[in-house]
Amino acid sequence: EEELAATAADMAENAPKDTLELVESITTARNGMTGLVYVKAPHGWVPEYGTTTHEAEPYALPAAIAAQKRFPRRVRQKIGRRL
């Protein structure tokens, strides 16, 4: 839960804010040990990848990279020396 929320917050922080539709559409879902952070806005791919007329402004990939770096530390904190 904590990592999903942190990743969603990172995406929202990095996302373009010309309209808040993109930021407000960032959503999380969890199914057991699996979590997902995604964008409901149909145009969510445009700033991430860009187009021929719109330069890319990645917001999801940087959030995913940050989550990937944080996650092992979070696991170690949660399980401690129980392994």
pLDDT (tens digit per residue) in 20-32: 999 999 999 999 8
pLDDT band at 82 (very low <50, low <70, confident <90, very high): low
pTM: 0.81
For residue 51, the tally of other CB atoms under 10 A from its CB is: 10
DSSP 15: S
Quote the pLDDT of residue 80: 78
Residues 6+ apart with CB under 8 A from 39: 11, 22, 25, 26, 27, 60
**What is the CA 70 to chain-centroid distance, rounded?**
13
Q: Is pLDDT larger for residue 50 or for residue 1?
A: 50
Helix (H) or strand (E) holding 37: strand 34-39
Query: Are 59 and 43 a contacting pair, CB within 8 Å?
Result: no
